[in-house]
Every structure is written in structure tokens, then in C-alpha cells.
Amino acid sequence: MTDIAEHKGIVIEITDDLVRVKIESASACASCHAKGLCSMSDKTDKIIDVKRTLLQKEYHVGDEVTVVASSGKGLLAVVFAYIIPALVVVAAIAVMLAVGASELVASVVAIALVAVYYFIIYLFRSKLNKKFVFSIVE
């Protein structure tokens, strides 16, 4: 059985090609009974696009649904979003310091390289969207 990540959400928009679902992403602190006493709670809304061709039934705006994706794809997303940029920063700083650059220059170069990395990810977003596919289950 494939591990899946699932989130409950509400359909907010339906187009010819997509069903847009709003999910509430909450940190572990968000459900804590003491969250009002500290500023650590974190709740945000995210919009997930689900291709209509993958759906087996029609949905309507306001329907409560469960959006799923395989957890393997989640791990791949973590690699693209966090691990590779962290490696770029460490490598850039190490190389720049090894060639005698100041810490300020090394840091600026590292940040610039991460910005370039995310720009490249942005350019390949259509290819990545094919890899990260969400579906709705009953």
C-alpha cells in the first residue's frame, strides 16, 4: 500500500480544467489548548489545484473534500524546497571562504545562488506540476 498524505478542504472554484480546493495548513501548535497565550501557533490557508480529468465525480463550490498525494511526492518536494537550497548555501559559503572572500561576500553570493535556484525551479514549474499530482477521494 502506498503511503498518502491527505488533507480535508473545501472546493472554492471550479474551472474547465481544475477544481481548486482550500486547505487549512496548521502547525502542531495550532491545536494546542494554550495557543492563545503564546505567539507560536501557525495556521495558513493553501490552495490546491486538482485536475478534473483525474476526478471520478463532479464537485461543486462549497463541497467538503479530502485531497490526497503520495507521501513519496511530499518527500521529493522537501528535497526540492529545502534540502537542495541548504546544500547550495553551505557549498557556496565554503567555496567563497576557501578562495579568500569575506563572510559578507560569501553570504551574499550564497543568497544570490539560492535565488537563482528558485528562479530555475519557477521556470520548470510546469514540468514539476506534472510530478506533483493531487487527487480527491471520497
- Joined together, the cell numbers standing for residue 99 give 578562495
Q: Tens digit of pLDDT for each residue in 1-57?
A: 456 677 888 989 988 888 899 988 765 555 565 555 555 556 678 888 888 776 778
Q: Which amino acid, one-letter code, is at 72?
A: G
Q: What is the pTM of this model?
A: 0.64
Strand 43-51, strand 18-26: pairing: antiparallel
**DSSP secondary structure string for all residues of 65-106:** EEEEEEHHHHHHHHIIIIIHHHHHHHHHHHHHHHTT--HHHH
